[in-house]
Amino acid sequence: MTPENKTVVLEALRSGRYAQITGALRDTNGYCSLGVIAEALELCEWVPSVETPDRFFGRFQDEGLLLDGSLPLSVAKQLGLDAQVPIEAVAVTIRKHVPDFRWPAGTYEFTWNTALTAMNDTHRLSFNQIADVIEEYL
């Protein structure tokens, strides 16, 4: 992630402007951490879901894809979110907020795209806590 993009992302995650949700990039109640990144960096156009009216799909410019749960690989690559996470180092920072934090059994490597989803959806770290991890390690 470029320093400029990182500054925008950290400011957005810490701003308090976004309600946090799980299970989707965006719905009528808010955004997940990847959804905030997509919104703050203007990576996609949000398109309401026909099947699930309270959810939105992100139409990503480079891909033309409609996704509701993750970033496309090309976007993750562009942002450096396809890189491997130093999982033990990141776990030390996460444990400051979630003392009993453990990666799932058998976890040896994660990309940032996957790890940010896990931090948001599985471990329910706040946007501020996720920003701390991004600031320190990405």
**Domain boundaries defined on the chain:** 3-137
Q: Can you give the pLDDT of all 138 residues of the chain as single tens digits?
A: 999 999 999 999 999 999 999 999 999 999 999 999 999 999 999 999 888 889 999 998 766 677 888 899 889 999 999 999 888 878 888 888 888 887 767 666 788 998 899 899 988 999 999 999 999 999
Q: Do residues 133 and 90 lie in contact, with contact meaning Cβ atoms separated by under 8 Å?
A: yes
> Whole-angstrom Cα distance, residue 131 to residue 138?
10
> Whole-angstrom Cα distance, residue 21 to residue 89?
26
β-pairing verdict for 30-31 and 66-67:
unpaired
54 SS3 class: coil
Q: Do residues 77 and 114 lie in contact, with contact meaning Cβ atoms separated by under 8 Å?
A: no
